[in-house]
Structure 1
Amino acid sequence: MARTKLYILRHGEAQMQAATDAARQLTNFGRRQARAQAACFKPELALVEQVYVSPFLRAQQTADELFAELSGATNACRHEAAWLTPDVAIEQVIRGLEPVIAGAPVLLVSHQPLVSQLISFLSDTPVWQVSMDTASLAYLEVSVLAKGLAELKSITPALVPR
């Protein structure tokens, strides 16, 4: 059975306050974090065909920085996905992902606690062992979207020192 490369990126550092949680913007540091991950993983991310992004502003801005850094290196289609907001149920994410796990690499841009919970669910790694600080990038291989059937290959923390 074919295995799909699934990348999960947590948004970069965001403002602490805004009118709503969904309206929180990336800080300049958060923008640098997102670009650094894209630059480091350019060969891998250039192969991604579908990018699903939370509608929250900080995730959208993270995707903007990613696409700017990958400019010309990718033809990925970008989709806004309401099933990637911070507190959505894992079952909703699985339903959203089912149609796209078909062999081509996929990238999700989302939030805590969802990213850690999703990685834990798919890989059967205890959630407390899944460290996804801002701009962390996880890489999994999955053939079936079910509990414990993905292989967690790596988690790369943000590459821009504070």
Structure 2
Amino acid sequence: MKIILMRHGQAEDETRPDSARQLTDFGQQQAARTAQYITANYTLDYLVVSPYTRAQQTLAQLQSRAIDVPVKIQNNITPADDAHTALATLATIDAECLVVVCHMSIVAYIASLLTGDSPESFALAEARIFEMEFVMTGMATEIDRFVPIQP
């Protein structure tokens, strides 16, 4: 199985509540580039996204390229959530190639749980691809990553 962890693209300044922040035009471009890379190289069968606006907008770039792939909004993958709880929820999803669109710092902590390595920050709209037999702490290997052009 593969889990692709993706951070949202560049978001506007904090003039709105964090959950309502939108992608900038550049953030939309970043998300589109990463979505293009993911869909060109992997066959997706399930998409999971944070309820926050900027993550939803990032996911929309994937959905435009993977039209029939089911989507689930997962409420426990927002910036302040617990990575252990989030990973336990992700482990219940039956998928061969699962994409998770969320935020720093939870995305870095989920990645570190998958591999057993120390957390490493994700760039904006970065995607990292992990392969494993089953979802369990320390059982994954990072096999690929893509970072779109940064500001």
| TM superposition score normalised by structure 2 | 0.92
Aligned residues of 1:26 and 1:61 also touching (Cα < 8 A): yes
Work out whether residues 55 and 82 of structure 1, in 8 Å CA contact, stay in contact via their aligned partners in 2. Answer: yes
Q: Is the 8 A contact 1:32 1:160 kept in 2?
A: no
> Does the 8 Å CA contact 2:124/2:150 hold for their aligned counterparts?
no
Could you tell me which residue of structure 1 aligns to residue 26 of structure 2? 29
Kindly report structure 1 stretches of 4+ aligned residues shifted beyond 3 Å. Answer: none
2:102 aligned to which of 110, 118, 123: 110
**Amino acid paired to 1:118:** I
TM-score (norm 1): 0.86
Measure, in 2, the Cα distance between the counterparts of 1:55 and 1:114: 14
Deviations, residues 6-42 of structure 1 (Å, cap 9, x unaligned): 1011000001113211011000000000001112232
Contact 2:132–2:139 (CA under 8 A) maintained in structure 1? yes
Partners of 1:161 and 1:116 in 2: how far apart?
18
Identify the match of residue 77 of structure 1 among 56, 70, 79.
70
Instruction: Provide the rounded CA distance (Å) in 2 between the counterparts of 1:27 and 1:149.
Output: 36
State the 1:67 CA deviation.
1.8
Counterpart Cα distance in 2 of 1:133 and 1:105: 22
Q: 2:35 aligns with which of 23, 35, 38?
A: 38
Q: How many residues align?
A: 151
For the aligned residue pairs, the C-alpha RMSD in angstroms reads: 1.6
Where 2:101 maps in the other structure, the secondary structure is: strand
- What is the percent sequence identity of the aligned residues? 26
C-alpha deviations, 1:68-117, integer Å up to 9, x for none?
2x1xx5421011110211111122112211221x4521000000000111
Q: Shift of the alpha carbon at 1:161?
A: 4.7
Structure 1: which 5+ runs fail to align?
Answer: none
For residues 44 and 84 of structure 1, the distance between their equivalents in structure 2, rounded to whole angstroms, comes to 25
Residue 136 (structure 2) pairs with residue 146 (structure 1): yes
Structure 2: runs of 5+ lacking an equivalent:
none
Secondary structure at 2:136 match in 1:
coil
Identify the range of structure 1 (32-41 vs 104-113) with the bigger mean alpha-carbon deviation. 32-41
Following TM superposition, by how much is the alpha carbon of 1:138 offset from its aligned partner in structure 2, in angstroms? 0.6
1:1-162 aligned within 5 A: 4-45=1-42, 47-68=43-64, 70=65, 73-100=66-93, 102-127=94-119, 130-157=120-147, 159-162=148-151
Q: Secondary structure in 1 aligned to 2:76? A: helix
